[in-house]
Amino acid sequence: MPRYNYVALDARGQEATGLLEAASSNEAIGQLRQAGYFPTSVYEEAKASRDGKEARRRVAKMAKMTRPRAKTSIVLFQRKKIKPKVLMIFTRQLATLIDSGLPLLRSLNVLAKQEPDTVLKNTINKLAEAVQGGNTFSDALALHPRIFNDLYVNMVKAGEVGGVLELVLNRLAEFQEKATKIKNKVVAAMVYPIIVMTMAMAIMGFLLVFIVPKFETIFHDMLGNKPLPAVTQFVIGVSNALKDHGLWTIRDRSL
């Protein structure tokens, strides 16, 4: 039975080479896919001996492509976060691509090309470089803590160990979607009380500054020098303090 040399990528995007027996090149590719590999080059051993130089050139080229790249310098003043919705969409798309059989490295490159968000696009490119350099996906994510929190990194690490990365990514996308919905509901629920409290404070300030002083004049004309009830005196005192000092304080701060 013919033997075939192959160059393939595993689920983490790392290169693997070897030799296997198969009736045809298609059968060899099928065996590699069943084993969880994604072949990039499959050729018969006899042909490889005839074209040894070309085969070695292909292997050398693949090795050069998978060689770790030098670390790029961190650009200061560019520590911008992305929106939770953008991260959720990226997570779901990555899970879909991996679940369809596309290697992790290829999936990251595809998403980087079509990502409209500049910050996430640069982050995906850095993730692809780290994975291509031999790091695990979870280690690459841990290098960007402002975008991927500890829960995200640890979940991905568990998915890598268990071989269910696409399932974990789907769960993360669902969790992010539910968290975003809950956050939006809380924000929407807080808008109405804030508006009511703001209007109440504005109305109260208007009454104390403009209306209560007029009542003080009316009470003085009606009662003369007779003492007013304690509650009325307290309200008038607050009104005078706000009118004499509150407006001056606001004016000084505005200046």
Is the pLDDT at 47 greater than 60? The verdict is no
Burial of 152: CB neighbours in 10 Å, binned 0-12, 13-18, 19+? buried
Predicted local distance difference test score (pLDDT) of residue 247: 55
Q: Are 107 and 98 in contact (CB under 8 A)?
A: yes
CA distance 231 to 212: 13
Q: Is the pTM of this model over 0.85?
A: no
- Write phi, then psi, for 18 (nearest 5 degrees): 180, -165
Q: What is the pLDDT of residues 226-237, one digit of tens each?
A: 788 888 888 888
Q: What is the pLDDT of residues 70-123, one digit of tens each?
A: 444 444 444 467 888 899 999 999 999 998 888 999 999 999 988 888 999 999
Predicted local distance difference test score (pLDDT) of residue 43: 78
Element (H, E) at 57: helix 52-65
Q: What is the pLDDT of residues 102-112, one digit of tens each?
A: 899 999 999 99
Predicted local distance difference test score (pLDDT) of residue 148: 92
The domains of the chain, with CATH numbers, are 3-65 (no CATH), 84-180 (1.20.81.30), 186-254 (no CATH)
Neighbours of 133 (CB within 10 A): 16
